[in-house]
């Protein structure tokens, strides 16, 4: 039936910033492995609040917040200090999408949603093998 997915169909959405080195590597890896995906550009499209909530629930704010990046380092100390829980991290991530560790990948496989953060080829290869 048209529009129906097979149980093993995989839908991938990658979220990030096109100029980000990790996002470039991730997209190249997906291309090299013949995986189709949608790209969501934080700079042009913003961060979808409902997706951010799902990521925070799935991986936790500590993993999603990039405290090593330039955006974090350029923040005022008061803005950094305000991030001490998921609510503070969420507010900062919505205001400054570049503070989200990239890329964020949503892997929809057979009705299950899997979320990964950062470019980790080993994890991706395992996820691909399950498709």
**In the structure encoding, which two tokens stand for residue 21, read together?**
């080195």
**What is the rounded distance in angstroms from the CA atom of residue 21 to the CA atom of residue 103?**
10
Asked, as a colleague might, if the bond just before 21 is cis with ω within 30 of 0, I would say no
Whether residue 20 lies in the annotated active site: yes
**What is the rounded distance in angstroms from the CA atom of residue 114 to the CA atom of residue 12?**
10
Q: Please identify which of the residues 14, 17, 20, 64 carries the catalytic annotation.
A: 20
The burial of 50, by beta-carbon neighbours within 10 Å (0-12 exposed, 13-18 middle, 19 or more buried), is given as exposed
In the block, residue with structure tokens 């048209």: 2
Residues taking part in catalysis: 20
């Amino acid at each position: 039936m048209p529009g129906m997915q097979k149980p093993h169909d995989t839908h991938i959405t990658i979220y990030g910033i096109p100029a980000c080195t990790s996002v470039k590597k991730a997209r190249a890896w997906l291309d090299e492995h013949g995986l189709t995906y949608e790209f969501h550009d934080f700079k042009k499209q913003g961060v979808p609040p409902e997706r951010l909530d799902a990521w925070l629930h799935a991986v936790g704010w500590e993993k999603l917040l990039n405290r090593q990046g330039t955006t974090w380092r350029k923040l005022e100390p008061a803005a950094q200090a305000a991030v001490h829980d998921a609510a503070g991290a969420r507010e900062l991530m919505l205001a400054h999408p570049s503070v989200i560790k990239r890329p964020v990948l949503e892997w929809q496989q057979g009705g299950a949603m899997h979320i990964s953060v950062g470019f980790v080829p080993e994890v991706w290869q395992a996820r691909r093998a399950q498709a």
